[in-house]
């Protein structure tokens, strides 16, 4: 589970970095692209690459975001996607701790544990639906 999070974070850092590079290109001309080509050539990779158009780069970024978001949805939408991942687990509000401790004294704290589990299970079920809804909303907006 930890590797998926690390891979996702790495991919998001790459996407954000490339996006920032491309956004600065708008203001700085092609200097970043030229520097990137120079670096590739210094590694002997310059001849193996072709110049990409802005449209190709944009399409590549869109595809990377699509694949990345689908991977995250698959991870979070799976059983225990929220529940066992300490980074995104949804705990019950701390204001309920006093009630939980009282119930624990009479052997009924399992009610709160069950509630917390159901809360995380609901998030796991809702994640793919939210992705689907977001995709449908974007498709509708394009039609306007």
Q: Among 26-30, 33-37, 91-95, 134-138, name the one with the lowest average pLDDT.
A: 26-30
Show Cβ contacts of residue 18 under 8 Å, excluding neighbours closer than 6 positions.
57, 61
- Interior CA angle at 46 toward 45 and 50, to 5°? 110
**How many C-beta neighbours within 10 Å does residue 76 have?**
19
- Average pLDDT value for residue range 32-58: 69
- Average pLDDT value for residue range 74-89: 92
pLDDT at 2 over 50: no
Tokens, residue 51: 């110049």
- Average pLDDT value for residue range 80-89: 92
Tokens, residue 103: 């119930």
pLDDT value for 55: 87
25 vs 105, higher pLDDT: 105
86-124: per-residue pLDDT in tens? 999 999 999 998 999 999 999 999 999 999 999 999 999
141 vs 90, higher pLDDT: 90
Q: List the one residue out of 17, 121, 6, 128 whose CA is nearest residue 70.
A: 128
Residue 19: pLDDT band with limits 50, 70, 90: low
Task: Judge whether 76 and 124 are in contact, CB under 8 Å.
Answer: yes
pLDDT value for 105: 95
Show Cβ contacts of residue 88 under 8 Å, excluding neighbours closer than 6 positions.
76, 82
Tokens, residue 21: 């590079």
Q: CA–CA distance from 133 to each of 72, 126, 128, 129 (Å)?
A: 16, 10, 9, 6
pLDDT value for 130: 85
User: Rounded distance, CA 124 to CA 85, Å?
Assistant: 12
- Average pLDDT value for residue range 4-22: 57
User: Rounded distance, CA 90 to CA 119, Å?
Assistant: 7
Instruction: Return the domain boundaries, the chain.
Output: 1-77, 90-144
pLDDT value for 57: 86
51 vs 31, higher pLDDT: 51
Task: Judge whether 75 and 81 are in contact, CB under 8 Å.
Answer: yes
């Amino acid at each position: 589970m930890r590797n998926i999070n690390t891979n996702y974070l790495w991919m998001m850092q790459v996407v954000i970095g490339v996006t920032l590079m491309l956004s600065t290109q708008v203001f700085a001309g092609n200097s970043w692209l030229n520097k990137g080509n120079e670096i590739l050539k210094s590694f002997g990779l310059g001849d193996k690459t072709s110049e990409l158009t802005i449209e190709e780069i944009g399409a590549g970024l869109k595809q990377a975001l699509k694949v990345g978001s689908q991977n995250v949805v698959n991870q979070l939408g799976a059983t225990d996607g929220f529940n066992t991942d300490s980074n995104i687990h949804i705990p019950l509000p701390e204001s309920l701790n006093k009630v939980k401790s009282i119930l624990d004294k009479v052997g009924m704290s399992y009610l709160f544990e069950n509630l917390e589990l159901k809360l995380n299970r609901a998030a796991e079920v809702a994640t793919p639906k939210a992705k689907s809804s977001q995709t449908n909303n974007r498709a509708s907006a394009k039609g306007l």
